[in-house]
Structure 1
Amino acid sequence: MFIKEYDKVLLRTGETAYIVEIYEQGVSYEADIDTLDGHIKTEIIKQDDIECILAD
């Protein structure tokens, strides 16, 4: 799966996130995560954390 900056993705946790920085394609990204409790947090995530890319 090829992920681009600003892609909306579904995480394996059930949360959605927007990719804001690509550190290494296929390895790690910085993402703004919409948490299940309604907050937004910015974290570094791994490719394995991503279930799929979502269409807007």
Structure 2
Amino acid sequence: MKKIDAIDNLDREELESYLKRYHEFGYLCEVTIGHEDSYGHRTYRYNLAVYKIDDE
């Protein structure tokens, strides 16, 4: 398995777009979720790591 891409600080719409695209190619995606508290509101940001599985 080889890491081919990493994208940090995505919002939910961006994350869904990347997941859809990478899923079409059959890549394994790892998502980590972070949050920030700002003015009493919690916002979530996502980090995405993409892996290609070797068929050897």
Instruction: Considering fraction of residues, name the structure with more helix.
Output: 2
By the TM > 0.5 criterion, same fold? Answer: no
- TM-score (ref. length: structure 1): 0.24
Q: Which structure would you say has the larger RCO, counting Cα contacts within 8 Å and 6 or more residues apart?
A: 2
TM-score by length of 2: 0.24
